[in-house]
Amino acid sequence: MSKQAARIPFVKASACGNDFLLIDFYQAERVLGSSDIAAFTRRICNRHDGVGADGVEWLYPHAHAGVEIRLINADGSEAEISGNGTRCVAAYLYSEQGKEKITIQTGAGLKSCVLTGRNEPEYEFEIEMGEAVVESERAVQIDGSTVRGIPVSMGNPHYVVFVKSFSEGWQTQAAKIQSSSHFEHGVNVEMVGVEGKHDVNARFFERGVGETRSSGTGSCAAAIAAIATGRAESPVRVHAPGGMQTVCQEGNSVSLRGSARLVCQGEVFVV
């Protein structure tokens, strides 16, 4: 008689086209045992042989927050935080618990998420993202040419390049910037076009994933770099292929507002 495959439950959520799988770590651990969590993440995030996602937000209990999360990207690498992933977790917790203010412990610190709107299964949250650290313009040599951008930290590293238009093959340039020796721990790359004092268009190329339809911390980095260089003023609406998010800066504090949609829930077979 054939042995029944073990199963791990998951929830899939999307924030402006940036999609994540939410999995309870200890539920999964009972099935996976000592298996490599990075390898499992790569398999389940595969868009052909798995469920498909930009990454997995692994959920852990936490004594002083609603939940602690650990982000593993689709390629199995670990990241400090995803603004969109954090918002997806907040949407899931609200759907389960009904709490309009949720604290989430991330690899970049404790984040407070406040519900600002809902049309189930879609929810809008404003997240206190903390302080952005903006550095002076940095030149990077790529294929004999010079690219100039603004390094920004949102608890994870970003490099914001202002452009007049998104040229064909911008992803290739972004990938070369990302792998440059200028960035010891890699970097998330944002190509940004300024449309007005309160509007920018952005494209994102993220560590461990590649091009994404949106990025929460990337939207913050794009907006803050635009504000810091006098190109924009708070609040800044960041438009991307996956949708729009709003970034506000008050003093040193940065907040991010956007939607997150619960897509489905199910079980993945582990054989």
Could you read off the pLDDT of 128-163 as tens digits, one per residue?
A: 999 999 999 999 999 889 999 999 999 999 999 999
Task: Clarify whether residues 124 and 137 are in a common domain.
Answer: no
How many structural domains does the chain have?
Answer: 2
Residues 154 and 185 in one domain: yes
Q: Can you tell me the distance from the alpha carbon of 87 to that of 214, in angstroms, rounded to the nearest whole number?
A: 13
Q: b/e map of 114-144 (b: 16 or more CB within 10 Å)?
A: ebeeeeeeebbbbbebbebebeeeeebebee
pLDDT attached to residue 239:
98
CB neighbourhood size of 264 (10 A)? 10
Q: Is 241 exposed, middle or buried (0-12, 13-18, 19+ CB in 10 A)?
A: middle
CA separation for the pair 112, 109 (Å, rounded): 10
- Containing domain of residue 49, as a range? 6-128+259-270
Residue 1: its pLDDT value, please? 40
User: Torsions phi, psi of 46, nearest 5?
Assistant: -60, 130
The CATH number linked to 266 is 3.10.310.10
Regions in the chain scoring below 70 on pLDDT: 1-3
Same domain as 119, residue 101: yes
Do 154 and 203 belong to one domain?
Answer: yes
Q: Is 1 within the bounds of a domain?
A: no
Q: Are 198 and 99 part of one and the same domain?
A: no
The greatest distance separating any two alpha carbons of the chain, rounded to the nearest whole angstrom, comes to 69
Measured CA to CA, the distance from residue 66 to residue 170 in angstroms comes to 39
How high is the pLDDT of residue 184? Answer: 86
180 and 104 inside one domain:
no
Q: How would DSSP label each residue in 89-147?
A: HHHHHHHHH--SEEEEEETTEEEEEEEEEEETTEEEEEEEEEE-EEPPPEEEEETTEEE
Residue 29 shares a structural domain with residue 62:
yes
Tell whether 121 is covered by a domain. yes
Query: For position 2, what pLDDT does the model report?
Result: 54
**Can you say how many angstroms the Cα of residue 73 is from the centroid of all Cα atoms in its chain?**
10
Rounded Cα distance between 88 and 102, Å, is 12
CB of 111 closer than 8 Å to CB of 104: yes
Q: What is the pLDDT of residues 17-59, one digit of tens each?
A: 999 999 999 999 999 987 789 999 999 999 999 999 999 999 9
The H or E element containing residue 268 is strand 253-270
